[in-house]
Amino acid sequence: MFEQKTFTHKPVIQDSDLLSENTESGRYYTLDNGKKLPSVTTVTGWKKNQFFINWRSKNPKEAKRVTSRG
């Protein structure tokens, strides 16, 4: 059965605008200390991409059929 998790939200106080950079691997935000963090959509894209890599290796015939149709 599914168990609901509880999270405590801690607001983030931001003094300045974040710089963003779009790359081939996704969007990254640069913090004031120089650290770069990936966007939420970039992170979810990584998970989605890994799912399809795994699926293709387990279903090569179906993967070829699906990717070759127009």
Give domain limits for the chain: 20-68
CB 28 within 8 A of CB 38: yes
Mean pLDDT of the residues in the chain: 86
Confidence class for position 15, pLDDT limits 50, 70, 90: low
Q: What is the dihedral of CA 50, 53, 54, 60, to 10 degrees?
A: 170
In the chain, alpha helices (H)? 40-58, 60-68
Give the predicted TM-score (pTM) of the model. 0.51
Q: What percent of the chain has pLDDT over 70?
A: 94
Q: Which of 4-8, 10-14, 27-31 has the highest mean pLDDT?
A: 27-31
Q: CA-to-CA distance for 35 and 43, rounded, in angstroms? A: 16
